[in-house]
Amino acid sequence: MKTAIITGVTGQDGSYLTELLLSKGYKVVGLKRRTSLINTDRVDSFYDNPNFILEYWDLNDTGSLYRIIGKYKPNEIYNLAAQSHVRVSFDIPEHTVDGVAMGPLRILEAIRNIDPNIKFYQASSSEMYGDSPCPKTGYIEDSRMTPASPYACAKLFSHNLVRNYRESYGIHASSGILFNHESPRRGETFVTRKITIAAARIKLGIQEHLFLGNLDAKRDWGYAGDYVEAMWLMLQQDKPEDYVISTGETRAVRDFLKEVFDIAELSIDKYVRIDEKYFRPQEVPYLLGNSIKAKTNLGWEPNIKFKDLAKMMYEEDLNRYSKNFNHGL
């Protein structure tokens, strides 16, 4: 039986990856920060599975990292832990950079010193491309990167670090340059979930308006459940490499908003307000990925389409808030 460690296991990607690996017969050791709030709802369904273990760890806790790796002797480590909200990174840049940049360094050093045969996956981000000119066919792995936020700058550092450790020490380390990937498990402060939650609450009469920032920003949106399969496939290859993971289609925030509000039969003009506090100090106007390398080398392609993703997310939130509303919560 293979053993995998997943950092950030209680996040959107961590929960989907846990599902995938358990279905493939792995033992999964999930790492999460200890907080005063119970925030394990995304992984609660795994607790009865004897092959799922939850451990506490923080991105700056080197001692616990060495202990956990020594205890469980993993075959693979997937680093999905980070403060991943781009807008928030402008407000807490030091905290963001320390976790996003130094966390992967601590893991790679642990692998190098404990067992260089451990395979490592790093969650890179399309935000690394920033405002660099986008080719007509989309960004590829070697496209120019000019990050435009503290989060993206830190991600680029760790992205380059993975390549450095791969080439310097022969570690099987790969980065997935994931473009925006959403789901009903997406954090509630991210724009897609803000939209689907607000639409559900407005439909039920328990919210009056939705406040948003830049509606013209264009992103390549896919489904998180599809994208975690690509993560796993990267670590099954003989040769470690970096891969763009995307749908190859880009749409504005406005398009996602319209899709959801059309499904909910709501008027954007009536319920949506623009608030400048949700704009970034530096905007990234356009992101489009080209994942031909992943298709060729990994056999990976996205399955869930944009319209189906919007519908899935809205219906899940509507169902959740309907239950809460009916129970007086």
Name residues whose C-beta falls within 8 Å of residue 301's C-beta, 6 or more positions apart in sequence: 291, 295
Q: What one-letter code names the amino acid at 141?
A: E
Q: Indicate the helix (H) or strand (E) that contains 173.
A: strand 173-178
Which residue reads 């480590």 in tokens? 77
**Three-state secondary structure call for residue 280:** coil
Instruction: Report d(CA 282, CA 146) in Å as an integer.
Output: 12
Supply the DSSP symbol for 307: H
Cα–Cα distances in angstroms (integers) from residue 207 to residues 19, 171, 192, in the given order: 33, 51, 17
CB atoms within 10 A of CB 231: 26
Q: HSE of 37 in the Cβ direction (CA atoms, 13 Å)?
A: 3
Which of 159, 118, 86 minimizes the C-alpha distance to 3? 118
Name residues whose C-beta falls within 8 Å of residue 327's C-beta, 6 or more positions apart in sequence: none
**Three-state secondary structure call for residue 39:** coil
Radius of gyration of the chain (CA): 20
Which of 276, 268, 279 minimizes the C-alpha distance to 202? 268
**Are the C-beta atoms of 248 and 306 separated by less than 8 Å?**
no
Q: Annotated catalytic sites, by residue?
A: 125, 127, 151
256 burial level (CB within 10 Å; 0-12, 13-18, 19+):
buried
